[in-house]
Amino acid sequence: MPANQVAREAVGDYKAGWHDPENSTVRFDFGLSEQVVREISAIKGEPQWMTDIRVKAFHHFMERPMPTWGSTELLNSIKFDEICYFLRSGEGTENDWDDVPEDVRNTFDKLGIPEAEQKWLSGVTAQYESEAVYHSIREDLEKQGVIFLDMDSGLREHEDIVKKYFCSIIPYQDNKFSALNTAVWSGGSFIYVPKGVHVEMPVQAYFRINAKNMGQFERTLIIADEGSSIHYVEGCTAPTYSTDSLHSAVVELIALPGSYIRYTTIQNWSNNVYNLVTKRGIAHENSTVEWVDGNIGSKLTMKYPAVILKGEGSHAEVISVAYAGEGMHQDAGAKVHHLASNTTSKILSKSIAKNGGRGSYRGMVSVSKKAENCKVNVVCDALILDEQSQSDTYPTMEIKNPSCRCEHEASVSKVSDDQLFYLMSRGHSEDEALALIVNGFFEPFVRELPMEYAVELNQLMALEMEGSIG
């Protein structure tokens, strides 16, 4: 069976595009006001300080102008009044799939989450609309003191830790969408890994939007204590609707001395979802923060995972791929700030544009004056598959210390007829040949993924390449 047929059977045409009837237990009216913000906080029974910060963030959001870069046209077409800011689908967060409402459980079954959980994950959180409907962690990890909760439970059960770190890396004033998220956040993950504990198998969160015109605003906070390590994986999908939904998350990572955090995202939103996410980690002495970021779907993504290298000898890696097909704009990239000496960073960005899609790399690397002997390596490659598609690169470097060793490479390439002919002469159809080239292009990224995701991503890309050559 040809590879793309396998892929089609496995994935379907945007396999995650179905939707279920909406059975909400709590649903807010469309639109945003201080009242909505206060009600979200009240319904969750939050402490006063959280309500206060939400309200402050709301006002900041209202006053803050829209960014004037990225895709301003698309940004300005977001209708904030036509979005539902809170929707509860169950009675709470269950730790047994059997207790999750049947239609919701079926959705996660179809997405393969319970199966993956059994086979190779340390823990799972499944969020449906605004809140987590399922959550579990392996017992042995719990015994070692690992905390893995949805963010709402995290706030209830570990208020002191949340209060210490919430908004510490990404203040609500950071940008318009971090303000929005802080005002209306709901769900997301809260993770604390104690000193010296290594979580060997990844933990996963899965985010699903089901309702029309939904806004999903999860908030994630991960703290790796000294000498610990964790790999967190998130996936996201949504139904295909003719109206738009908004996903605007904030993720804060805190890597304490000697720890290691890897955060992997496979974003496959349907192409009616605005994906405007702020992700930032802080790396203390000799710690490592890695973002592995795959953007395959959405209408507009603006996302630049960042690392602040605060401690000496810390290391940052941002490896990302973006696929921009018809009606899609992927404005993605990375930011790294070297504040301490002997810090190193590596950025690898790969983007593919096809059928009029637009892929942009936007990067920022800074090295502060007092940071000696830093190493910076930036590589960004773009592959354009036809004349209608576009690729742009906006790299910025601010190197204030002359001892820094800095490498930057960028390339834009097109698939050539001779390359396709060579592969076709080895028995591969046109679609298969293109999928081989595209998968090859993404290989440095796919290599970083757990095997299960690598297979899925390759199949997804093979499917996207079908019928691409006219």
Partner 1 sequence: MTSDTPVLGISELHAGIDDTPILRGIDLNIPPGEIHAIMGRNGSGKTTAANIIMGHPDFEVTKGSVELDGEDLLEMEPWERARAGVFLSFQYPQAVPGLQVGNFLRKSVAAIRGEEEAKGAEFRKKLKDAMTQLDIDRSFLGRYVNDGFSGGEKKRFEILQLLLIQPKLAILDETDSGLDIDGIRTVAKGINNAVRGTGSSALIITHYSRILEHVQPDKVHVLIKGQIVKSGGPELALELEERGYEWLEKEAEGLA
Q: Which residues bind partner 1 (CB under 8 A)?
A: 1-3, 416-419, 421-430, 432-433, 436-437, 439-444
Residue-by-residue DSSP string for 209-238: --STTBEE--EEEEEE-TT-EEEEEEEEE-
Q: Which is nearer to partner 1, 243 or 416 (CB)?
A: 416
Q: Which is nearer to partner 1, 10 or 111 (CB)?
A: 10
Six token digits for residue 385? 């598959």
CA dihedral 423, 428, 429, 430 (to 10 degrees): -20
Listed residue (105, 278, 145, 134) closest to 204, CA to CA: 134
Least gap, CB of 260 to partner 1 (angstroms): 26
Least gap, CB of 461 to partner 1 (angstroms): 12
Least gap, CB of 435 to partner 1 (angstroms): 10
- 346-382 per-residue burial string, b: 16 or more CB within 10 A, e: under 16: bbbbbbbbbbebbbbbbbbbbbbeebbebbbbbbbbb
Least gap, CB of 353 to partner 1 (angstroms): 17
Cβ–Cβ under 8 Å, residues 201 and 233: no
Q: What distance in Å separates the CA atoms of residue 26 and residue 31, rounded to the nearest whole number? A: 15
Q: Which is nearer to partner 1, 40 or 433 (CB)?
A: 433
Q: Which is nearer to partner 1, 96 or 417 (CB)?
A: 417
Least gap, CB of 368 to partner 1 (angstroms): 35
Least gap, CB of 422 to partner 1 (angstroms): 4
Name the 3-class secondary structure at 41.
Answer: helix
Angle of CA points 48, 254, 302, to nearest 5°: 85
Q: Which is nearer to partner 1, 374 or 423 (CB)?
A: 423
Q: Which is nearer to partner 1, 117 or 466 (CB)?
A: 466
CA distances from residue 325 to 11, 72, 225, 468 in whole angstroms, order as listed? 17, 19, 40, 10
CA dihedral 393, 469, 439, 232 (to 10 degrees): 70
Q: Which is nearer to partner 1, 21 or 427 (CB)?
A: 427
Q: Which is nearer to partner 1, 145 or 440 (CB)?
A: 440
Angle of CA points 449, 279, 195, to nearest 5°: 75
Provide the 8-state DSSP code for 462.
H
Least gap, CB of 425 to partner 1 (angstroms): 5
Listed residue (12, 59, 338) closest to 182, CA to CA: 59
Q: Give the other-Cβ count within 10 Å of 423's Cβ.
A: 18
Least gap, CB of 381 to partner 1 (angstroms): 9
